[in-house]
Amino acid sequence: MQGKIAVEEHFAVGETTAKTARYPTKGYWADLRRRLTELHDERLAAMDRAGIEIAVLSLNSPAVQGVPVAADAIDLARRANDFLAETVAQRGNRFAALAALPMQDAEAAALELARCIRDLGFKGALVNGFSDIADGESVVYYDRPPYLPFWAEVERLGVPFYLHPRDPPPSQALAYDGHPWLVGSPWGFAVEASLHALRLIGSGLFDIHPKLQIVLGHLGERIPYDLWRLDHRLKQVPGLRMKRTIADTFAANFHVTTSGHFSTPALIHAMMALSADRILFAVDYPFEDNDQAASWFDTAEIAEADRMKIGRHNATRLFGLSLP
């Protein structure tokens, strides 16, 4: 399929590369770092080979979320967003942008999002999970009451919020003790992102702000496959703040992407759980390979109408892209 739009494609600026440099395979990190910071010829050639017309770019993980001092996080987010805006301006027919946000400070995050949408032409935000903070607590999640004004601004702006994973917080290290292979993208990423998403649902956020649209990568961080059991068991839990079931909320307020999860059975299950209207194509470049993602997606055993929705039309609608 030509003309695909890939919606979770990463870049890095100088100081956001350090925490990603953990891959043990010889030469792998050097190659990955080069592709994270290269935003022109090599990246565009890889997109062309895979039939990707537009890549929606976002800052790598954990980036701003890993900066515990709020003032430093605010500065990094602004500089990264300005850099990305300059890049997109040079290649507006090939790139779109998602804002990095300093979620350590909810008010500053709302202001930076508004600036990015209003002044820089960004299409939404991508936040790398919880944020490190320096006020005596280790991390902060965004279901807490101080974040309600931030979510009100996201709803007012009418843009999607992509909740991307990061490694679990240090307080959960014991669960992975002796099994470091579970940390990160093989398992820990999905555990962390799905927990955060479920916290948002359980807080009643989407009853207060019913127009919010959240995006999860990796075909939903495993949530679509547990919707029935979640609601089945929660029937026994008193005092829940949410008014709707998790399945109903997920179907109305969430979208999932194919980033880094190139499995046809998983895709078909997500389509059955959410419908093809709420699934978007993504690669997770450069952590994943454009050619592998495209060769899988272009031949997956789904209807061509659904392939066009997932590969292009849903992204055009959700991110407000102006395309032929």
Task: Indicate which residues carry an active-site annotation.
Answer: 284
Cβ(199)–Cβ(143) below 8 Å: yes
Closest CA to 227 of 268, 269, 277, 191: 269
User: Exposed, middle or buried by CB within 10 Å (0-12, 13-18, 19+), for 262?
Assistant: buried
What is the spatial distance between Cα 166 and Cα 161, in angstroms, rounded to a whole number?
Answer: 16
What is the spatial distance between Cα 177 and Cα 166, in angstroms, rounded to a whole number?
Answer: 18
Closest CA to 101 of 159, 144, 29: 159
Instruction: Please say whether the dihedral angle defined by the alpha carbons of residues 132, 136, 141 and 147, taken in this order, is positive or negative.
Output: negative
For 107-166, give the secondary structure using H, E and C.
Answer: HHHHHHHHHHHHCCCCCCEEECCCEECCCCCCEECCCCHHHHHHHHHHHHHCCCEEECCC
255 DSSP β-pair partners: 215
Q: How many CB atoms are located within 10 Å of the residue 282 CB?
A: 31
Pairing verdict, β 139-140 and 161-163: unpaired
What is the spatial distance between Cα 152 and Cα 212, in angstroms, rounded to a whole number?
Answer: 9
What is the spatial distance between Cα 5 and Cα 154, in angstroms, rounded to a whole number?
Answer: 23
